Amino acid sequence: MDQQSDAAGYLEAGGKNVSLVYILYLVSILFGFTMLVGIIFAYLNRGKAGGWVDTHYTYQIRTFWIGLLGSVVGILLTFVVVGIFLLIALLIWMIIRCIKGLQLASRGEPVPDPQTWLF
């Protein structure tokens, strides 16, 4: 297998792309823009692979939107200090969701409840 076809596997719908999106989400802790790249991949590839992979794309899309909502609320509440704790909890929530998703994807398993707000 050459490097070009291996790299293309990460861009096409499937298990490698699902893992890439989770990694982009985690890297966004340091470089925020990578989450935007991840959400674009999730939207572009949802519905193309089918099966267990689609549950991950749904889970990733919901992670993005719930995280964005929580971030806005947390930022607004930083003026009354509560927001700082909310943002810390949100960071932990996102890390747990991404690690759980990576573990399931590495085993080729679907997300049990991709619509959940929790983990």
Q: Is 112 among the domain residues?
A: no
**Phi and psi, residue 2, nearest 5°:** -85, 165
Q: Residue 72's pLDDT is what? A: 97
Domain encompassing residue 44: 3-106
Are the CB atoms for 63 and 93 separated by under 8 Å?
A: no
Task: Report, as ranges of residue numbers, the positions in the chain whose pLDDT lies below 50.
Answer: 1
Q: Is 117 among the domain residues?
A: no
pLDDT digits (tens, 9 = 90+) for 27-60: 999 998 999 999 999 999 998 888 999 999 999 9
At 6, which amino acid appears?
Answer: D
End-to-end CA distance of the chain: 36
Total tally of structural domains belonging to the chain: 1
Angle at the Cα of 112 from the Cα atoms of 86 and 11, rounded to 5 degrees: 85
Q: Is 116 among the domain residues?
A: no
Q: Is 115 among the domain residues?
A: no
How many CB atoms are located within 10 Å of the residue 74 CB?
20
Q: Is 54 among the domain residues?
A: yes
Q: Is 111 among the domain residues?
A: no
Q: Is 41 among the domain residues?
A: yes
Are the CB atoms for 22 and 98 separated by under 8 Å?
A: yes
